[in-house]
């Protein structure tokens, strides 16, 4: 888990945002290429490599979702691209509404707005659920919790794609954007 190492951290899912920022700034002050502009080539290259890793690490770990994705992938667990089964019906109805709008039937438009709200609500729910799951996994380090996190992340990724498409559609009268499955 080199991203955690780069910031001098134990690999935990729950991280304190302020502490993370502080560590990032401290290490940036020490290793940024600006501090080595007149140093020998070897040292310059080293500073560049360390800082690039540090920046990549901070960018990945600062937000819970990419952090958890990184954590899982380092454990050899990949996110799935399938539609989470519990969302199948939702997606089916949404596609119907979109077909109607494409066919010129504007009466389905309010459905888009409510779908948008629903998806945003689901996303917020998953996010708050992740907080608990992170704490639980950090305490027990069990595979079952990790699987739950994986399921949440799969669901979240799919919902955020749906949300992005619905937002694009509500903003786009031409309706030339397709829902991606």
Strands (E), the chain: none
CB 114 within 8 A of CB 41: no
Closer Cβ to another protein, 48 or 65, answer by number:
48
Distance of alpha carbon 16 from alpha carbon 3, whole angstroms: 15
With binding defined as CB under 8 A, does residue 77 bind another protein?
no
CB 9 within 8 A of CB 17: no
Specify the length of the chain in residues: 181
Closer Cβ to another protein, 58 or 158, answer by number:
58
Closer Cβ to another protein, 20 or 53, answer by number:
53
Closer Cβ to another protein, 19 or 34, answer by number:
34
Q: How many CA atoms within 13 Å lie on the side-chain side of 121?
A: 6
Sole binder of another protein in the list 17, 52, 88, 124 (CB under 8 A): 52
Sole binder of another protein in the list 9, 14, 33, 165 (CB under 8 A): 33
CB 102 within 8 A of CB 176: no
Give the dihedral of Cα atoms 85, 86, 90, 96; nearest 10 deg.
Answer: 30
Sole binder of another protein in the list 29, 140, 164, 178 (CB under 8 A): 29
In the block, tokens 């596609």 appear at 95
Sole binder of another protein in the list 15, 51, 71, 122 (CB under 8 A): 51
Q: Which two tokens stand for residue 166?
A: 């619905």
With binding defined as CB under 8 A, does residue 56 bind another protein?
yes
Of 25-33, 68-76, 146-154, 172-180, the segment contacting another protein by CB under 8 A is 25-33
- In whole angstroms, how close is the CB of 19 to another protein at the nearest point? 14
Sole binder of another protein in the list 32, 46, 116, 118 (CB under 8 A): 32
Distance of alpha carbon 160 from alpha carbon 6, whole angstroms: 30
Binding site for another protein (CB under 8 A): 21, 25, 28-29, 32-35, 37-38, 48, 51-53, 55-56, 58-59
């Amino acid at each position: 888990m080199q991203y955690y190492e780069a910031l001098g951290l134990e690999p935990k899912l729950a991280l304190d945002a302020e502490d993370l920022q502080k560590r990032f700034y401290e290490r940036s002050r020490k290793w940024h290429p600006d501090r080595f502009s007149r140093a020998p080539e070897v040292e310059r290259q080293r500073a560049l490599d360390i800082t690039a890793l540090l920046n990549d690490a901070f960018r990945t770990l600062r937000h819970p979702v990419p952090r958890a994705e990184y954590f899982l992938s380092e454990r050899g667990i990949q996110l799935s691209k399938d539609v989470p089964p519990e969302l199948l019906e939702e997606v089916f109805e949404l596609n119907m509404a979109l077909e109607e709008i494409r066919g010129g039937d504007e009466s389905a438009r309010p459905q888009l707005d409510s779908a948008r709200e629903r998806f945003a609500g689901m996303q917020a729910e998953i996010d708050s659920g992740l907080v608990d799951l992170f704490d639980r996994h950090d305490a027990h380090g069990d595979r079952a919790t990790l699987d739950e996190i994986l399921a949440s992340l799969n669901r979240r990724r799919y919902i955020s794609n749906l949300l992005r498409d619905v937002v694009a559609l509500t903003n786009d009268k031409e309706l030339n954007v397709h829902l991606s499955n």
